[in-house]
Amino acid sequence: MLFLTDKVVNLKAWQFYLGNSIFTFLVGLILVVLSKILGIFNVSLPKFAKQLERFESQNNNAFVMFYAPWCGHCKMAKPKLESCLGGIAVDHKEYKKGNFRKHNGKTAIVMVNGDEEGSLAKKYDVEGYPTFLLLKGVKNKNTLAADKVIPYEGGRSREEIEDFIKSNE
């Protein structure tokens, strides 16, 4: 119920007439204007964006496959990884751009070409291909800086990789 000058207005009736999206927009607009006029909330958009970014950066995990295009084992493992968890695996270039999905909102599957990104492979002591790592608490998409690194040394089947990712979320 919304009170306007001693009259009670039924919100459901307004929703029916205006439609859900328009009604929600109008109510939101009114609340924003009132909050600015009355000084109820003091939230700026840049501050909100930083808070949202900080919230999104929590619990970010990445299951990473370091590969080389010339490696036969990588060529066999890559399609299995790409089909994991509904096909959410992306190349590191797309991951850096933010073009990825996370399993359960926590873990992204990222494939890093070790030949092209040698400094990243060196950072994680990649000595052979393919190398699988689970990076927990990723703070930076560009460098894949993480709080904890868990090497994956299990089987190469899609099911085994999925089970490992799910058990470590």
pLDDT tens by residue, 58-106: 558 889 999 999 999 999 988 888 888 888 888 888 887 777 888 777 8
Q: Rounded to an integer, what distance in angstroms lies between the CA atom of residue 89 and that of residue 38?
A: 47
pLDDT at 96: 79
Quote the CA–CA distance of 78 and 69 in Å, as a whole number. Answer: 10
Choice between 5 and 32, residue whose per-residue pLDDT is larger: 32
Distance CA 108, CA 21 (A): 32
More confident residue, 49 or 73: 73
